Amino acid sequence: MRKQIAAANWKMNLTASQAQELAAALATGVTQVQPGQQVILGVPFPYLVLVQNKVAGNKNIFLSAQNCADKKNGAYTGETSAEMLHSISIPYVIIGHSERREYYHETHSQLATKVDLALAQDIQPIFCCGEPLHVRETNTQNVFVEKQLKESLFHLSDAQMKNFIIAYEPIWAIGTGKTASSDQAQEMHAHIRQVLASKYGNETAESVSILYGGSVKAANATEIFSKPDVDGGLVGGASLVATEFISIIESLKPGS
């Protein structure tokens, strides 16, 4: 069964008290999650344990870190390892977000290492891919995204790729108010699945949840999520408002 996922990315937002207040509202408000659906909160490092405590009684909500280091451990001041995340029972980590690629110049090989370190600690990566505006304007987005996938993920085994999570985020639609049309999202998601099938076969490709990330909100979530290869969303700004994010969760399709 391919999971349908509403994943929040809080980015570098909220104070500790605001984070706990939002987590408490979600813990209370997320009461009905259908079989095959999942809610994941991508929380800033300092708040992971605080939020974990707030949602502990809600079996529908899981936590994710927003990044991890590309080193196992050592003298890397300010970094957070996958091993550290595992030690506080964090089951997911966002890897390769466009902001990490753009602002911190993370390479495909670095991201491959992060994926490996996360999996070695039984942490499921949420692997991000997507194209900037100039690539979309030259209609080379399929080649661009395929390169991201091949150079960071294609060393994985079939067993490691089964039930993997990928988030497609057209960079030109993040925080801009622009959103890829539901047809554009479906086209790229179908392409990603085809790329995976070419390496791992249809069965594994069909098991991968592919989320859409790019100005998802309550008003457009149902239309975007209705597409057959769109398995939910990686949600930024709208996930900072409990009522808005709960509405997005309610827009998920049943698990397939």
Yes or no: say if 170 and 131 are a contact pair by the CB < 8 Å rule: yes
Which residue from 142, 122, 116, 120 is spatially nearest to 198, judged by alpha carbons?
142
Yes or no: say if 168 and 212 are a contact pair by the CB < 8 Å rule: yes
Which residue from 18, 76, 87 is spatially nearest to 49, judged by alpha carbons?
87
Active site includes 189? no
Give CA angle at 43 (120, 4), nearest 5°.
75
End-to-end CA, the chain: 5
Choice among 131, 169, 189, 191 that is catalytic: 169
How far, in Å, CA of 46 to CA of 36, rounded? Answer: 30
State residue 100 phi and psi, 5-degree precision.
Answer: -70, -40
Yes or no: say if 213 and 235 are a contact pair by the CB < 8 Å rule: yes
- Residue 223: DSSP 8-state: H
Choice among 97, 99, 189, 191 that is catalytic: 97
The residue behind tokens 């995340």 is: 85
How far, in Å, CA of 233 to CA of 254, rounded? Answer: 14
Active site includes 134? no
Determine which helix (DSSP H) or strand (DSSP E) holds 110, and give its type and residue range. helix 108-120
Which residue from 217, 85, 74 is spatially nearest to 94, judged by alpha carbons?
85
Yes or no: say if 45 and 66 are a contact pair by the CB < 8 Å rule: yes
Active-site residues, by number, are 97, 169
